[in-house]
């Protein structure tokens, strides 16, 4: 007979997992928010050239995620499958993040090469920790309620890390040298030191408890591919995540909007800060809200609300900043719910596929989360680069009314419409809380203290 499930996740472990995500997000957000404007306004790279690099690098990095997921599934060590990569790759991740923000003393062509090489190396290093950390969320406990709580705390901590990067970068950059005086690199060193320590401790303190009913199973390449392409519920969530490329334009364009529309790049920290605080609140409310409403319904309702908010804000305009701040607050709040639920939806497809095939491929399945995340990030920056070129954007000059209107559309109505589109696949997702609880019971997943 299989052993009964007995899981006890300590408060210390929950805080450790959340802290690791917070540190990871600190570094990732710094890159995600500021690398494009660093390339265009500091390194002097054209938006189109940077956009092409993002697209190619992210497509490669996305496939690299799948490879890393398969490696995690085949890892056997005294630390488990995931924790070794948090312990031993945290420092390389920090170093490769920082060197991207060095401006080399090279001609334009040399700077292009430096941009390509450092960004791709960073992506490969970052993948090793990213896949392992998200896979760990499903291996700490198999229960939906535990996963919701862990991911919720992780998203809240991630929002804190994101907020720290968004709010602190501009003032710190100006204090430590400005655009041309190495300010971005100095900020990178600070954030990367904090990120390294956060990820490293996460690998030391957390524990892996969720195992296959057959701990000696061998996962072949075919098994890994089946766990993705025969996993209908997973593919639906991934399609929804891929469609977030449209709403994500808001984050990519926010610095441009603040600098050129509002004539004050410092206001980016205010707008983003408001949105990130309420996003953390939304993420933190998920474990409580899902007592009264299913996670799926919560995501669907959020999509409708976001579509309304984005469309309404475009027609209201941004002359009244107070109204725009209210919009930013509501936008963050209703984005916080899907951030948690979609991740749990992916985690729960692990048991769905194990029941279906008898094979457990945590790493491969969770690698698709970061695969899509990086693919959409690359696509988002590529689309942003194309839009900037289409609008007629010229760096560090006064922008035409057409450019300013385009930037505002990218902050409001375009993300609003995209929020409606991205929920469409989730109407067909069929692993609800009761179904997953039955899967866990049927599998009688083994655990250890």
pLDDT digits (tens, 9 = 90+) for 165-178: 988 998 999 999 88
Q: What is the DSSP string of 157-204?
A: HHHHHHHHHHHHHHHHHHHTTTTTTTHHHHHHHHHHHHHHHHHHHHHH
Is a pLDDT exceeding 90 seen at residue 373?
Answer: no
Residues in the chain, total: 449
Give per-residue pLDDT as tens, 309-334.
999 999 999 989 999 999 999 999 99
CA pair distance 239, 376, nearest whole angstrom: 11
Among candidate residues 409, 378, 374, the one with its CA nearest the CA of residue 391: 409
How many other C-beta atoms are found inside a 10 Å radius of the C-beta of residue 362? 29
Is a pLDDT exceeding 50 seen at residue 349?
Answer: yes
Give per-residue pLDDT as tens, 200-232.
999 999 988 766 555 566 777 788 889 999 999
Most trustworthy range by pLDDT among 146-160, 185-199, 205-219: 185-199
pTM (2 d.p.): 0.74
Q: What is the DSSP string of 8-74?
A: ---HHHHHHHHHHHHHHHHHHHHHHHHHHHHHHHTS---HHHHHHHHHHHHHHHHHHHHHHHHHHHH
CA pair distance 24, 198, nearest whole angstrom: 7
CA pair distance 257, 411, nearest whole angstrom: 8
Q: Residue 3: what pLDDT?
A: 44
Q: Token pair of 199, please?
A: 């990820």
Q: DSSP label at 425? A: G
The band of 93, judged by pLDDT with boundaries at 50, 70 and 90, is very high
Is a pLDDT exceeding 50 seen at residue 125?
Answer: yes
Give the residue-averaged pLDDT of 247-275: 87
Give the residue-averaged pLDDT of 328-352: 92
pLDDT above 70 as % of the chain: 95
Q: Token pair of 201, please?
A: 């401790």
Among candidate residues 96, 269, 50, the one with its CA nearest the CA of residue 174: 269
CA angle 170, 176, 182 (to 5 degrees): 90
For 372, the enclosing helix (H) or strand (E) is: helix 362-391
Helix 47-74 × helix 362-391 angle, to 10° = 180
- Topology of domain 11-208+219-427 in CATH is Growth Hormone; Chain: A; (1.20.1250)
- Higher-confidence residue: 113 or 212? 113
How many other C-beta atoms are found inside a 10 Å radius of the C-beta of residue 230? 12
Distances (CA, A) of 325 to 249, 303, 320, 322, 408: 18, 20, 9, 5, 14
Q: Residue 56: what pLDDT?
A: 86
- Higher-confidence residue: 406 or 442? 406
In this structure, of 100-109, 217-226, 428-437, the range with the lowest mean pLDDT score is 217-226
Q: Residue 210: what pLDDT?
A: 61
Among candidate residues 21, 168, 196, the one with its CA nearest the CA of residue 97: 196
Q: DSSP label at 291? A: T
Is a pLDDT exceeding 90 seen at residue 95?
Answer: yes
Half-sphere exposure for 211 (CA within 13 Å, toward CB): 20
Q: Residue 217: what pLDDT?
A: 65
Q: Residue 213: what pLDDT?
A: 52
Give per-residue pLDDT as tens, 128-140.
999 999 889 888 8
The band of 7, judged by pLDDT with boundaries at 50, 70 and 90, is low
pLDDT above 90 as % of the chain: 48
Q: Token pair of 337, please?
A: 């719910």
CB 427 within 8 A of CB 345: no
Q: Token pair of 141, please?
A: 């406990």
Rounded to the nearest integer, the mean pLDDT of the chain is 88
Q: Residue 4: what pLDDT?
A: 42
């Amino acid at each position: 007979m299989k052993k009964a499930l007995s899981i006890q996740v300590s408060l210390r472990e929950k805080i450790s997992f959340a802290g690791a995500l917070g540190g990871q997000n600190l570094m990732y957000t710094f890159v995600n928010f500021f690398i494009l404007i660093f390339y265009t306004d500091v390194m002097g790279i054209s938006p189109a050239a940077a956009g092409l690099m993002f697209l190619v690098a992210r497509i490669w990095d996305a496939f690299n995620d799948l490879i890393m997921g398969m490696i995690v599934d085949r890892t056997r060590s005294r630390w488990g499958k995931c924790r070794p990569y948090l312990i031993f790759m945290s420092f390389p991740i920090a170093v490769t993040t920082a060197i991207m923000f060095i401006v080399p003393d090279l001609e334009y062509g040399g700077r292009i090469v430096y941009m390509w090489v450092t960004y791709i190396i960073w992506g490969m290093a970052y993948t090793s920790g990213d896949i392992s950390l998200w896979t760990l969320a499903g291996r700490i406990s198999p229960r939906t309620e535990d996963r919701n709580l862990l991911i919720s705390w992780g998203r809240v901590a991630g929002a804190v890390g994101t907020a720290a990067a968004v709010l602190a970068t501009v003032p710190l950059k100006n204090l430590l040298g400005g655009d041309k005086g190495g300010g971005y690199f100095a900020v990178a060193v600070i954030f990367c030191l904090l990120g390294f320590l956060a990820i490293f401790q996460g690998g030391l303190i957390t524990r892996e408890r969720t195992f296959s009913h057959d701990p000696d199973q061998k996962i072949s390449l075919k098994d890994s591919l089946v766990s993705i392409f025969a996993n209908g519920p997973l593919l639906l969530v991934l399609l929804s995540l891929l469609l977030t490329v449209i709403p994500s334009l808001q984050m990519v364009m926010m610095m441009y909007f603040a600098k050129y529309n509002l004539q004050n790049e410092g206001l980016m920290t205010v707008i983003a800060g408001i949105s990130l605080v309420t996003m953390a609140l939304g993420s933190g409310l998920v474990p409580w809200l899902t007592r009264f409403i299913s996670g799926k319904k919560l995501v669907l309702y959020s999509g409708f609300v976001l579509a309304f908010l984005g469309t309404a804000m475009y027609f209201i305009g941004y002359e009244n900043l107070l109204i725009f701040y209210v919009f930013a607050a509501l936008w963050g709040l209703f984005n916080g719910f899907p951030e948690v639920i979609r991740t749990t939806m992916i985690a729960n497809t692990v048991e769905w596929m194990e029941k279906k095939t008898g094979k457990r491929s945590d790493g491969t399945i969770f690698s698709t989360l970061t695969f899509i995340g990086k693919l959409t990030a690359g696509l988002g920056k590529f689309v942003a680069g194309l839009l900037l070129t289409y609008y007629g954007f010229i760096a560090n000059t006064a922008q035409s009314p057409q450019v300013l209107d385009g930037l505002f559309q990218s902050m409001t109505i375009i993300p609003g419409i995209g929020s409606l589109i991205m929920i469409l696949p989730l109407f067909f997702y069929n692993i609800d809380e009761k179904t997953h609880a039955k899967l866990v019971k049927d599998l009688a997943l083994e655990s250890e203290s």
